[in-house]
Amino acid sequence: MTEFTPAMLFGETLRRGAPEAAAWIKGNEDYPQLSGTVRFFETPYGGCLVEAEIFGLPNIATVGSSNFYGMHIHENGDCTQPFDRTGSHYAKEPAPHPLHTGDMPPLMGNQGYAWLAFYDKRFLISDIIGRSVVIHAMADDFMTQPAGNSGAKIGCGVIRAANP
Write the pLDDT tens digit of every residue in 67-85: 999 999 999 999 999 999 9
Per-residue pLDDT at 164: 56
User: Is the predicted pLDDT of residue 1 greater than 70, yes or no?
Assistant: no
**Is 133 exposed, middle or buried, given 0-12, 13-18 or 19+ CB atoms closer than 10 A?**
buried
Domain ranges of the chain: 19-161
- Over residues 38-47, mean pLDDT: 94
Q: Which CATH architecture has domain 19-161?
A: Sandwich (2.60)
Single out the residue of 150, 69, 49, 72 nearest to residue 110, CA to CA.
Answer: 69
